[in-house]
Amino acid sequence: MRKLLLLLSLLPLFSQAADYEKVSVEVTAENLNGSAYYVPGLSGAATEYEGFISNAGFIVTNEGVVVFDSLGTPSLAHAMRDEIRKVTNKPIKLVIVSHYHADHVYGLQVFKEEGAEIWAPKGAFDYLDSETAPNLLDSRRTELYPWVNDKTYLVEPDRIIDQDTEFSLGSHKFLLTYFGKVHSEGDMSLLSLNDQTLYSGDLIFEGRIPFVGDAHIIKWAEALQQLSNVEMEYFVPGHGMASDQPQETMNLTYRYLNFLIKQLSAAVDEMTPFDEAYTAIDWSEFEDEPAFDVANRKNAYAAYLYLERVL
């Protein structure tokens, strides 16, 4: 009878696992410091590597697990969940979302269905209520099928964070730093104080040119200056390898954003047309960086339009 009851209790887990197409990419959790782990994504465009192009992380406390971001498909999140289970059987209590971009939130449903609470920065609903959110999900159901499919849905946060917030889980203490509209419509970082490990989300792209999109790049550069003053031992960017040399990890994104601001502010002030300005700028400092060819001109144009609005 006990064996039968055990099998019946496991049926929901088996059925849930069957809902997620298995990924062929290797999803592996790496221990950084103490109870802090991260899952490193691969370097690529949004739909490459089955969508596995961003980082996520988790911290194991004596009362449960805090997850940071959820990767770019439910299948990837399910693989990440399996990695968590290799470390601990404690419940996944909380998912902290750095920002609402697809490669960080499409896996939320896996953790939500396990009972985790979702916390996100103010601005999350700006994304969820926009035309972009359902349109992008529809396109990813084609571009990332079968890992994103008709059963994939957008998860709303349970709590909105709009200021710096300290919280505890068990004996673990955490600090959420809210940056407002920076890289996205709302961004925040998570510092595990016990482990002195900071998870930045897409405020930092390590080892590649960042994605600017509709970012508020002046505020972004200011946020990076703020991050540089945080005491930490390990740093986990939104993309690229984690490091015990935080300043080095932040350096490329910081230099690149400030370069865009300086060069394109001058062009806007002088009312130089974008094409002319872009051609005249010496990009040699960054042209050998990964993603330069595919991202730089788009980034520069987005920054130019932004600076036209705010200067």
Structure confidence at residue 9 (pLDDT): 37
303 within 8 A of 264, measured Cβ to Cβ: yes
More confident: 249 or 94: 94
Beta strands in the chain (DSSP E): 30-33, 36-39, 56-61, 64-68, 92-96, 117-121, 159-161, 165-169, 172-180, 187-192, 197-205, 234-239
Sheet strands side by side (includes 30-33): 30-33, 36-39, 56-61, 64-68, 92-96, 117-121, 159-161
Helix, strand, coil percentages for the chain (3-state, nearest 5): 40, 20, 40
Residue 33, φ and ψ in degrees, nearest 5:
-160, 120
Q: What is the pLDDT of residues 160-216, one digit of tens each?
A: 999 999 999 999 999 999 999 999 999 999 999 999 999 999 999 998 999 999 899
pLDDT band of residue 271 (cuts 50, 70, 90) is very high
- Mean pLDDT, the chain, rounded, equals 93
Could you tell me if 100 and 127 are in contact, meaning their C-beta atoms sit under 8 angstroms apart? Answer: yes
In this predicted structure, what is the pLDDT of residue 6? 36
Among 3-7, 36-40, 155-159, 211-215, the minimum mean pLDDT is found in: 3-7
Single-letter amino acid code for the residue at 285:
E
Structure tokens at 64: 């449960």
pLDDT tens-digit series, residues 57-71: 999 999 999 999 999
- Mean pLDDT for the stretch of residues 263-285: 97
Q: Quickly state the pLDDT bin for 2 (edges 50, 70, 90).
A: very low
Summarize pLDDT for 227-265 with one digit per residue, the tens.
988 999 999 999 999 999 998 899 999 999 999 999 999
What confidence tier does 19 reach under pLDDT thresholds 50, 70, 90? Answer: confident
H/E run at residue 279:
helix 274-280
Note the pLDDT of residue 13: 43
| CA–CA gap between residue 247 and residue 234 (Å, rounded) | 10
Mean of pLDDT values over 259-277: 97
DSSP symbol at 156 = P
| Average pLDDT rounded to a whole number, residues 106-119 | 97
**For the segment 33-58, what is each residue's pLDDT rounded down to a tens digit?**
999 999 999 988 899 999 999 999 99
C-alpha 185/C-alpha 215 separation (Å) is 8
Question: In the CATH scheme, what architecture does the domain 9-245 have?
Answer: 4-Layer Sandwich (3.60)
* Residue of 163, 174, 182 whose CA lies nearest to 254: 182
The reported pTM is 0.91
**Domain residue spans of the chain:** 9-245
Q: Which amino acid would we find at residue 286?
A: F
Contact between 215 and 124 (Cβ < 8 Å):
no
Q: Quick one: what percent of the chain has pLDDT higher than 70? A: 94
